[in-house]
Amino acid sequence: MKDSNISENDVITQPVKIAARNVQVYYGDNHAIKDVNVEIDDKTVTAFIGPSGCGKSTFLRCINRMNDTIDICRVTGDIEIDGEDIYDRKVDPVQLRAKVGMVFQKPNPFPKSIYDNVAYGPRIHGLARNKAELDDIVERALKRGAIWNEVKDRLNEPGTGLSGGQQQRLCIARAVATEPEVLLMDEPCSALDPIATAQVEELIDELRQNYSVVIVTHSMQQAARVSQKTAFFHLGHLVEFGDTDKIFTAPEDPRTESYITGRIG
């Protein structure tokens, strides 16, 4: 499956950002992820698709070690970012998560002002030396989250008062503010209406300029629209991984074809 990395369309081949080898995840006795090998490129949008419960979100949460916060969860195998094993003892998961940002399924702004929401990451990591720098970081993040124009006049209002789509873009801006290298998105549009979804998808495409973006989605149309690479998960296995165009037009595995054509899932 790795050899499908060879690009067939106009995507410029990028260096590998995340490499996973033989990753197994257990929830207690339940073997949730079985033997996943994948290489995710830099400055590319990679989509994880698959039926519910197939392990795609679980695998996503391995990449920033969010699974560490769940007591019964155990991860084995290697995941490397830029050639460095993130499950190594030396790696501080807290530092790792600053480098690998995450956007969640449900918009989860903190019950603070819009400004404080975005400034949260930079503050705890000490990214700004003074107020002016912090203002600058917040403004840049909100602009990158494509929400600046909507909120610039009410930065001190609570983030929870925004609409669903605005909240999700605020959360993206919040994740971007810590200058991550990888952005993980766990079904970022599932709680949004079509207009907000379109705005977020447009934003994801722009974020590709700077980050490696990994997005879990239930919508195959969305995967086709925003991603260059697609991985299909089924029952904890990574069934097929390759260029999005190829997965959707000429899948190799019969299971992928069945899922795409709506026969399983």
Partner 1 sequence: MTQLFSSISASVLVLIVLGLGIVGYVTMRSRAIASGGGDARNLHSLPSYYGANAAMMIAIPSLLVMVLWMLLQPMVIQNTVIKLIPDQMVSEGSSVGLVMSDVRRIADGLDAAVAQGAMSGQEAAGLDAVETDVRSRLAEVGVALGSDVQAPILAAAQKYRLLSQSWRAAMVAVVLVMALAGLGFAYRQTDKDFRARNVVEAGVKGLLIIAASLAILTTVGIVFSMLFESINFFRMHPWQDFFLGGSWAPNFRGNSDLSILPLLWGTLYISFIALLVAVPIGLFAAIYLSEYAGPKVRSAAKPLLEILAGIPTIVYGLFALLTVGPFLVNIFGRGDNGVLGVDWMSGATSVLTAGLVMGIMLIPFVSSLSDDIINAVPQSLRDGSYGLGATHSETVRQVILPAALPGIVGAILLAASRAIGETMIVVLGAGAIARFSGNPFEGMTTITTRIVSQLTGDTDFASAETLVAFALGLTLFVLTLALNVLALYIVRKYREQYE
Instruction: Decide whether 104 or 248 has the Cβ nearer to partner 1.
Output: 104
Cα–Cα dist 60/135, whole Å: 31
Instruction: Decide whether 9 or 69 has the Cβ nearer to partner 1.
Output: 69
- Label residues 220-238 b or e (16+ Cβ within 10 Å = b): bebbbbbbbbbbbbbebbb
String marking each residue 184-223 x if it binds partner 1 according to CB under 8 A: ----------------------------------------
The two three-digit tokens of residue 96, written as one number: 């790792």
String marking each residue 78-97 x if it binds partner 1 according to CB under 8 A: ----------------xxxx
Query: According to the binding rule CB under 8 A, does residue 29 interact with partner 1?
Result: no
Cα–Cα dist 186/68, whole Å: 17
Instruction: Decide whether 211 or 259 has the Cβ nearer to partner 1.
Output: 211
Cα–Cα dist 179/127, whole Å: 9
Q: What residues contact 5, with CB distance under 8 A and at least 6 apart?
A: 13, 39, 41, 242
Strands 182-186 and 100-103: parallel
Instruction: Decide whether 55 or 109 has the Cβ nearer to partner 1.
Output: 109
Instruction: Decide whether 58 or 244 has the Cβ nearer to partner 1.
Output: 58
Query: According to the binding rule CB under 8 A, does residue 14 interact with partner 1?
Result: no
Q: Dihedral of CA 169/174/179/183: which sign?
A: negative
Interface region with partner 1, contact rule CB under 8 A, candidates 22-30, 167-175, 224-232, 255-263: 167-175
What residues make contact with partner 1 under the rule CB under 8 A? 64, 66, 69, 71, 94-99, 101-104, 106, 108-112, 120-121, 124-125, 160, 171, 174-175, 178
